Amino acid sequence: MGHEYVPEIAIDRDGNQHEVQGWQGDFYGGKLGFWLFMLTEVMMFGAMFLALAYYNSLHPQDFLDASAALNRLLGGTNTVILLVSALTMGLGLLRMRAGDVKGAKLMIWATIILAVAFLVIKGFEWTAEYHHGIFLMHDKLLPESSLPFGQKLFYGLYFSMTGLHGFHIIIGIGLMLWLLKRINAGKVSPEHHILHWNIALYWDIVHLIWVFVFPYYYMIGADGIQMSDFSMIFGGGTNGHH
């Protein structure tokens, strides 16, 4: 391959010409394909939310208690970071479409930095939870511990879903680095930016999922929130476990 694709023409009975759509350079097809792929991500996380909702209905109080113990400050900061990163990613795509390749690259770099920040914060959060004896195969989550069933289920799902989401962030960083490489190689350009478009869509879905994960895990137990929780911001407290 490598040669330019020249669209073929089909001729009907009356001699009219009709352009044949080839698979080469089908921008619309590429977009459609990626949308469909994102639909599978939604189905996948949807099934986990289903399981979550089911156990929530069985153990409502346990879920509230467990949720109250999560660190809303770190979770909230991460939400803001991810929202801003969605903005930078989108701006990058706009820059690219406007022909400003340099600006687009800058925005992608900004997104990468924000994504890394997200992971670092997530790392702090998990570490703190680990020190409180809440971690997979560890202490309070072992079968023989006396923690109520509902809380064990909550944390089990919490680690599964935030873990899987974090995995998507890592993949996203990889994709963005690859995108930068393709841009530098001239394979992605303002005229030919389907890859950029699709990775931006991917990042949107990743942040969209988080927008559901955050309230479900961190916020449902938040009604007992007190001023002292906020004072941590200034007082140097590290987490929300009581």
Partner 1 sequence: MSKTYFDETHCAIGHPKSTFMQWMLTIDHKRIGIMYAAVMFVFFFVAVFTAFAMRLELFAPGGQYMDGNTFNQAFTLHGVIMIFLFIIPGIPAIFGNIVMPLMIGAKDVSFPRLNWFTFWLYIAGCCIALASLFIGEGVADTGWTFYAPYSMNTGTNVIMALVAAFVLGFASILTGLNFLVTIHRLRAPGMTFFKMPLFVWGIYATAWIQLLATPVVGITLVLAILEKYFGIGIFDPAKGGDPVLFQHLFWIYSHPAVYLMILPAFGIMSEIIPTFSRKEVFGYRTIALSSASIAGIGYLVWGHHLYTSGMSDIAKTVFSFLTFFVAIPTGVKFYDWVATMYQGKIVLSTPMIWALGTIITFAIGGITGVTITMIGMDVHLQDTYYTVAHFHYAILGGVVFLLFAGMHYWFPLVTGKMYNETKAKIAFYLNFIGFNLLWFPMFIAGYYGMPRRYFDYLPEFEIYHQLSFYGAVIFIAGLIYMFWVLFKGWTKGEATTPNPWNATTLEWHLPSSPPPLENHSKVPYVDFDPYEYKHGEPVVKFNYETMQRID
What tokens does 178 get?
Answer: 């690859």
Q: Which residues pair with 135 in a beta bridge?
A: 138
Residue 139 to residues 8, 59, 62, 146, 239, Cα–Cα distance (Å): 66, 21, 18, 10, 19
Q: Which residues pair with 139 in a beta bridge?
A: 134
Given 3, 4, 6, 20, the residue binding partner 1 (CB under 8 A): 20
* Smaller CB separation from partner 1, 32 or 94: 32
Q: Residues 223-242: x/- map of binding to partner 1 (CB under 8 A)?
A: --------------------
Q: What is the DSSP string of 121-184?
A: HHHHHHHHHHHTTEETTEETTSTTS-S-HHHHHHHHHHHHHHHHHHHHHHHHHHHHHHHHHHHH
Give yes or no for a contact between 37 and 198, defined as CB atoms under 8 angstroms apart: no
Segment contacting partner 1 by CB under 8 A, of 54-62, 120-128, 194-202, 213-221: 54-62
Given 25, 33, 60, 215, the residue binding partner 1 (CB under 8 A): 33
Q: Name residues contacting partner 1, limited to 96-155 (CB under 8 A).
A: 136-137, 141-143, 149-150, 152-153
State the maximum Cα–Cα separation within the chain, in Å, rounded to a whole number.
Answer: 81
d(CA 86, CA 208): 9
Q: How far is the CB of 235 from partner 1 (least distance, A)?
A: 34
Residue bearing tokens 């991917």: 202
* Strand (E) or helix (H) holding 53: helix 27-58
- Quick check: 37 binds partner 1 (CB under 8 A)? yes
Given 160, 220, 232, 241, the residue binding partner 1 (CB under 8 A): 160
Given 6, 10, 185, 227, the residue binding partner 1 (CB under 8 A): 10
* Smaller CB separation from partner 1, 83 or 136: 136
d(CA 232, CA 210): 24
Size of the site for partner 1 (CB under 8 A): 48
Q: How far is the CB of 34 from partner 1 (least distance, A)?
A: 9
Query: Can you give the binding site for partner 1, defined by CB under 8 A?
Result: 1, 8, 10-13, 18-23, 26, 28-29, 32-33, 36-37, 39-41, 43-48, 50-51, 54-55, 58-59, 136-137, 141-143, 149-150, 152-153, 156-157, 159-160, 164
